[in-house]
């Protein structure tokens, strides 16, 4: 047991290295698919990646579909298609989305259309959404001793496009509402799931939607707004209906009509997009974390609902977030996770920091990681650790990136910055992550030299970010590590000045 414990620490697997937990952790890391390299236009997937995608698709698709998928993935006519489009000629249409769920998305190089809103959320997406919502509530209850009274949800457009509306379904599931279908099977309204069938209280939800979601899913903004109203006005005991309890309390406190206190959907001002938290983090243009919260609040304080189309109401948003016990967002692909792009951080991270600002303590932050068959609800800390191990520190991942030259180094640097973003917004990055990044990219002089030769600016940026993590108190490197980092950084600065 003691040896396992030491091994676990050496492998950054924490100090609770009991054999079974360790085995499960290692299997999870081993089985996780990782993207190796970037897509190159007009080049088909390498055959090893085709096999990986097929193995995952086999969980969802019958053999004939898999056979066609194998063929389509191995061919690629994007270049020809672009030339046709530039020529103003016809391109056949296709649906988009994640190829594992929707094999009709290949071949690529066709004219993509998004969705039929009337079919969303699909029955499949709803079943997955109910499972995810139950898991989220179970986990939050186990960790906090009670159901969260309100969950802060991030809704994205691309995410709902790829999953046929799973995140929309999760919001409905949490409040205990289900879609109503018309005779043609189209989602045309919502109704309450009776409390007895629900078997738990209705959990309140505050939605922060991206500008893209707002633009693409107008019909669903409407449905969600109706769902909140139904729950808020239901004749049910407030202790079994947190939407109603919160609405009554907020109406009394802010002296506003119930109609206004039942609004739960916030997004950007009409015509604008993004939280800008990512820009502040990337440019180091902030001094206190509070500023990140303020940036998020100012961008997302526009309310949408019946009769309100993006009216600014910061007071209402802040009052809603004051009741949020947990935050949640789905990660919908293996390609783009918490450390691959800055947008999860600007949204889920920004929301979590905003709630902390208002409540004075950090809410539990979770992600729905259901891409792999053994997917589950994870804490942000767990997800950052998993992605660090499978991507940032993984030679298969970074060698795949470095094969793309300067752009690969930029990707690596951006992973470190995005990881740092989870320190800045959620303090979700343990010291071993930064230590291990140093071990991988800095202590290995040959690797650092390769980064520097391919992209000296990004290599310098990587070192600067590690130094920033230390300066801002998110990581306490040993004095030797810090001295080494500074030396390497100055070295790179010097080299750049001489360029
Ligand atoms: C969206 O699909 O809503 C989205 C995508 C990337 C960044 C932000 C939002
Ligand atoms: Mg971007």
What would the pLDDT profile of 331-382 be if each residue is shown by its tens digit?
Answer: 988 889 999 999 999 999 999 999 999 999 999 999 999 988 778 999 999 9
| Pick from 273, 298, 281, 429: nearest CA to 354 | 298
CB 118 within 8 A of CB 172: no
* Confidence category of residue 52, pLDDT binned at 50, 70, 90: confident
Identify the band that residue 97 occupies on the pLDDT scale cut at 50, 70 and 90: confident
**Pick from 381, 373, 374, 390: nearest CA to 335:** 390
Q: How many beta carbons lie within 10 A of that of residue 362, not counting itself? A: 16
Q: Average of pLDDT values for 42-53?
A: 87
Choose one of 154, 156, 275 to mutate for the ligand 1 pocket test, by most ligand atoms within 8 angstroms of C-beta: 156
pLDDT at 455: 98
**Strand order from edge to edge, sheet including 302-305:** 308-312, 302-305, 265-267, 204-209, 150-155, 326-331, 364-369, 376-379
Instruction: Dig out the tokens for 345 from the structure.
Output: 């951080």
What percent of the chain has pLDDT above 70?
A: 96
| pLDDT above 50 for 172 | yes
Q: How far is the CA of 355 from the centre of ligand 1 (A)?
A: 21
To test the ligand 1 pocket, which listed residue (157, 216, 279, 338) has its Cβ within 8 A of the most ligand atoms?
157
DSSP state, residue 268: P
Q: Is the pLDDT of residue 154 over 50?
A: yes
pLDDT band (50, 70, 90) for residue 13: low
Rounded to the nearest 10 degrees, how much is the dihedral formed by the CA atoms of 29, 129, 365, 196? -130
Ligand 1, residues at Cβ distance < 6 Å = 156-158, 210, 212-213, 343
- List C-alpha distances in Å: 343 to 183, 336, 417: 39, 10, 12
Instruction: Give me the mean pLDDT over the 153-180 stretch.
Output: 96
Q: What is the pLDDT of residues 14-40, one digit of tens each?
A: 555 566 777 888 888 888 878 778 888
Residue percentage of the chain with pLDDT more than 90: 77
pLDDT band for position 1 (cuts 50, 70, 90): very low
Mean pLDDT of 44-52: 87
Closest approach atom of ligand 1 to CA 210 = 3
Radius of gyration of the chain (CA): 24
User: What local confidence, expressed as pLDDT, does residue 2 receive?
Assistant: 40
Is the predicted pLDDT of residue 388 greater than 70, yes or no?
A: yes
- Which-ligand-closest: CA of 333? 1
Beta bridge partners of 187: 181
| pLDDT at residue 325, as a whole number | 98
* Confidence (pLDDT) at 419: 98
* Residue 303 β-bridge partners: 266, 311
Q: Calculate mean pLDDT across residues 138-156.
A: 97
Closest approach atom of ligand 1 to CA 347:
8
Helices (H), 111-192: 123-144, 157-162, 166-175
Place of tokens 């180094």: 409
Distance in angstroms between the alpha carbons of the first and the last residue of the chain = 54
């Amino acid at each position: 047991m003691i040896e396992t414990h030491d091994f676990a620490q050496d492998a950054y697997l924490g100090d609770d290295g009991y054999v079974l937990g360790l085995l499960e952790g290692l299997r999870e890391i081993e089985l996780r698919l990782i993207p190796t390299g970037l897509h190159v236009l007009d080049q088909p997937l390498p055959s090893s990646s085709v096999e990986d995608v097929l193995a995952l698709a086999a969980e969802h698709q019958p053999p004939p579909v898999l056979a066609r998928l194998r063929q389509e993935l191995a061919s690629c006519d994007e270049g020809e298609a672009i030339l046709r489009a530039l020529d103003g000629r016809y391109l056949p249409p296709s649906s988009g989305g994640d190829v594992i769920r929707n094999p009709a998305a290949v071949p690529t190089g066709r004219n993509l259309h998004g969705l039929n809103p009337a079919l969303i959320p699909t029955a499949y997406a709803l079943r997955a959404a109910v499972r995810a919502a139950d898991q989220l509530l179970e986990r939050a209850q186990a960790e906090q001793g009670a159901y969260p009274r309100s969950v802060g949800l991030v809704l994205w457009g691309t995410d709902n496009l790829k999953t046929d509306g799973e995140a929309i379904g999760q919001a409905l599931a949490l409040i205990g509402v289900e879609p109503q279908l018309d005779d043609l099977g189209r989602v045309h309204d919502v109704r309450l799931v009776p409390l007895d069938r629900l078997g738990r209280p209705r959990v309140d939800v505050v939605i922060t939607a991206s500008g893209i979601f707002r633009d693409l899913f107008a019909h669903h903004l409407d449905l969600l707004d109706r769902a909140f109203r139904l729950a808020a006005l239901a004749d049910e005991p407030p202790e079994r209906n947190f939407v109603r309890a919160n609405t009554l309390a907020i109406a009394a406190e802010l002296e506003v009509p119930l109609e206004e206190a039942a609004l739960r959907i916030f997004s950007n001002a009409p015509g604008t997009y993004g939280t800008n938290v990512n820009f502040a983090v990337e440019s180091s243009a902030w001094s206190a974390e509070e500023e990140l919260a303020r940036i998020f609040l100012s961008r997302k304080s526009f309310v949408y609902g019946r009769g309100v189309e993006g009216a600014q109401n910061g007071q209402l948003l802040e009052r809603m977030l004051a009741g949020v016990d947990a935050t949640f967002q789905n990660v919908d692909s293996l390609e783009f996770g918490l450390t691959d792009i800055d947008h999860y951080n600007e949204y889920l991270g920004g929301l979590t920091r905003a709630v902390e600002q208002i409540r004075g303590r950090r809410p539990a932050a979770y992600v729905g990681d259901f891409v792999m068959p053994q997917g589950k609800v994870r804490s942000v800390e767990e997800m950052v650790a998993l992605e660090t191990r499978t991507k940032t520190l993984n030679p298969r991942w970074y060698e795949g990136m470095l094969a793309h030259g300067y752009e690969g180094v930029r990707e690596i640097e951006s992973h470190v910055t995005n990881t740092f973003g989870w320190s800045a917004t959620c303090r979700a990055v343990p010291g071993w992550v930064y230590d291990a990044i140093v071990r991988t990219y800095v202590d290995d002089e040959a690797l650092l030299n390769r980064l520097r030769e391919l992209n000296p600016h990004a290599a310098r940026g990587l070192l600067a970010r590690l130094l920033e993590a230390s300066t801002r108190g998110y990581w306490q490197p040993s004095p030797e590590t810090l001295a080494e980092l500074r030396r390497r950084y100055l070295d790179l600065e010097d080299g750049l000045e001489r360029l």
